[in-house]
């Protein structure tokens, strides 16, 4: 349950706040999901297939910069989510 940064027993290798999140991706850039910060948001993300270890690619942003379009897995499907939601998805360095 290391992806859930909610209880003190979670041991994170680096301070999670300094990690890059899905919101920091450049358009077209691909990265791997490391952990999900917010427990409740995590449930929703997990159900929709955004699991630690999955590849994500920022396919684009809405004209005003928010929400984002994230392509999950190997071009499998596209999620649309707000910046505030994307920042709960932390990426592997």
Partner 1 sequence: MQETPTAPRPTTLPPSNRPAADPHLPRLALIGNPNSGKTSLFNQLTGLNQKVGNFPGVTVDRKTGMAQLGGQRRAEIIDLPGTYSLYPKSLDEQVIADLLYNPDAADYPDFVVVTVDASNLRRSLLLFSQLADLGLPAILALNMTDLAAERGIQIDLPALERELGVPVVPMNARKGVGVAALRIVMAERLAAPPALRFWEPEGDLLPLVRQIRYYFNLHNDYLALHYAHQFRGLRFLSDDDRAYLLELTEKYKFDSTARQAEETIGRYARINELLLEVVTVTRTEQREPASNKIDKVLTHRVFGYLIFLGILFLLFQAIFAWAQYPMDLIDQGVANFNELLQNNFSGPLVRLLTEGVIAGLGGVLIFIPQIALLFAFLAVLEETGYMARVTFLMDKLMRPFGLSGKSVVPLISGLACAVPAIMGARTIESWKDRMLTIFVTPLMSCSARIPVYTVLVALVVPDESWLGIFNMRGLVLMGLYLLGLVSALVSAFALKKILKARERSYFIMEFPVYRWPRWKNVGLTIVEKVKAFIFQAGKVIVAISVLLWVLASYGPGNRQAQAEAQVQQQAAAQRWPAAETERQVASARLETSYAGTFGHVIEPVIRPLGFDWKVGIALLTSFAAREVFVGTMSTIYSVGQDADLGTVQQKLANEKDINGQPFFTPVRALSLLVFYVFAMQCMSTLAVTYRETKSWRWPLGQLVYMTGLAYAASLLVWQVWG
CB proximity list for 47: less than 8 A, separation 6 or greater: none
Examine residue 45 and tell whether it contacts partner 1 (CB under 8 A). Answer: yes
Examine residue 2 and tell whether it contacts partner 1 (CB under 8 A). Answer: no
**17/77 with CB nearer partner 1:** 77
Examine residue 34 and tell whether it contacts partner 1 (CB under 8 A). Answer: no
Please, what sign has the CA dihedral across residues 69, 71, 77, 79? Answer: negative
Among 16, 20, 66, 87, binds partner 1 (CB under 8 A): 66
> Shortest CA distance to 58 belongs to which of 35, 41, 34, 83?
83
Which DSSP letter does residue 19 get? S
Interface positions with partner 1 (CB under 8 A): 1, 3-4, 6-7, 39-49, 51, 59-60, 62-67, 69, 71, 73-82, 85
């Amino acid at each position: 349950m290391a992806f859930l940064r909610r209880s003190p027993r979670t041991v994170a290798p680096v301070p999670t706040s300094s990690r890059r999140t899905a919101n920091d991706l450049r358009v077209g850039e691909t990265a791997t999901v490391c952990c999900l910060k917010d427990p409740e948001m995590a449930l929703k993300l997990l159900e929709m297939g955004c699991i630690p270890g999955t590849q994500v690619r920022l396919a684009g942003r809405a004209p005003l910069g928010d929400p984002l379009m994230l392509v999950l897995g190997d071009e499998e499907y596209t999620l649309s989510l707000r910046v505030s939601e994307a920042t709960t998805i932390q990426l592997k360095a």
